[in-house]
């Protein structure tokens, strides 16, 4: 069960109660974090040498092809022979054993439902007419477990698909320039879909006080955690 991993994980974690039992979330680094529930381990965008002492993954979720989200050497370190990898088609060109989930599709895994949500830039890119993240290339995800819904934004701006989400209990929302969006835009997007709890992540160099102030009085609980402790 979730408690059995306590000896392996020394980093700060948050726990959410669901009808199927506890879900524990542990920040790892930048866009990477670990979710534990029902004796299963999910690694989100595992990258870098930050996994010493952590349990191997039963499921790996990958959002995009960029190096801060997709790292084949790290995937090889954290996976087991029967680990399931879920990713968009662009990732599966490199991570060839991944099960492809396209925007708008969903699948069941263990006691979880996984929905692939679009993530893309509306206006930001390396040059005029191009974007850092094209629509349809990457996935955000909504994970449902025991009646609770967890949203992982991936690299995105405040797109309509994010703003129209419903019944999100916990959201992980990116912010950094120039690749995604600044904290004030992220706060405006979060106010549109009103999760119960939101964690800023993928925030290197961002002023998180701006995000907090932008959500003051909205009824959304902002939880600041350290994704850059190592």
> Would you place residue 185 in the very low, low, confident or very high pLDDT band (cuts 50, 70, 90)?
very high
Q: pLDDT > 90: what percent of the chain?
A: 93
pLDDT at 8: 44
Q: Going from the N-terminus, what domains does the chain have, and what CATH number goes with each?
A: 12-217 (3.60.15.10)
- Check the CA dihedral 98-18-203-225 and report its sign: negative
126-152 residue pLDDT tens: 998 899 999 999 999 999 999 999 999
Query: Does the structure show a pLDDT above 50 at 1?
Result: no
Provide the 3-class DSSP secondary structure of residue 34. strand
Beta strands in 95-182 (DSSP E): 99-100, 106-109, 112-119, 138-145, 148-152, 170-174
Question: CA 177, 92, 35, 148: dihedral to nearest 10 degrees?
Answer: 90
Which residues lie across from 24 on neighbouring strands?
15, 36
Q: Which value, to the nearest 10 degrees, does the dihedral of the CA atoms of residues 196, 201, 153, 29 take? A: -130
Q: What does pTM read for this prediction?
A: 0.94
Q: How confident is the model at residue 11 (pLDDT cuts 50, 70, 90)?
A: confident
Handedness of CA 194, 200, 202, 207 (dihedral sign): positive
User: Residues 44-65: what's their mean pLDDT?
Assistant: 96
User: Largest Cα–Cα distance in the chain?
Assistant: 51
Task: Judge whether residue 23 has pLDDT over 80.
Answer: yes
Question: Which structure tokens are listed for 33?
Answer: 């974090």
Which pLDDT band, with edges at 50, 70 and 90, does 230 fall under? low
Q: What is the pLDDT of residue 10?
A: 60
């Amino acid at each position: 069960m979730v408690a059995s991993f306590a000896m392996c994980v020394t980093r700060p974690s948050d726990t959410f109660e669901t009808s199927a039992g506890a879900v524990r979330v542990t920040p790892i680094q930048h866009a990477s974090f670990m979710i534990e529930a029902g004796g299963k381990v999910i690694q989100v965008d595992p990258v870098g040498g930050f996994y010493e002492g952590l349990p191997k993954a039963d499921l790996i979720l990958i959002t995009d092809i960029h190096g801060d989200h997709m790292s084949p050497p790290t995937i090889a370190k954290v996976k087991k022979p029967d680990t399931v990898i879920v990713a968009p088609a662009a990732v599966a060109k490199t991570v060839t054993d991944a099960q492809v989930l396209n925007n708008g599709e969903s699948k069941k895994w263990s006691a979880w439902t996984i929905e692939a949500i679009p993530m893309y830039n509306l206006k930001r890119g390396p040059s005029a007419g191009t974007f850092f993240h094209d629509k349809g290339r990457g996935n955000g995800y909504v994970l449902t477990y025991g009646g609770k819904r967890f949203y992982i934004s991936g690299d995105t701006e405040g797109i309509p698909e994010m703003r129209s989400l419903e019944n999100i209990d916990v959201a992980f929302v990116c912010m950094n320039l120039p690749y995604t969006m600044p904290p004030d835009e992220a706060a405006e997007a979060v106010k549109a879909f009103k999760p119960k709890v939101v964690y800023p992540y993928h925030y290197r160099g961002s002023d998180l006080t701006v995000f907090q102030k932008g959500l003051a009085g909205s009824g959304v609980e902002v939880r600041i955690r350290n994704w850059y402790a190592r």
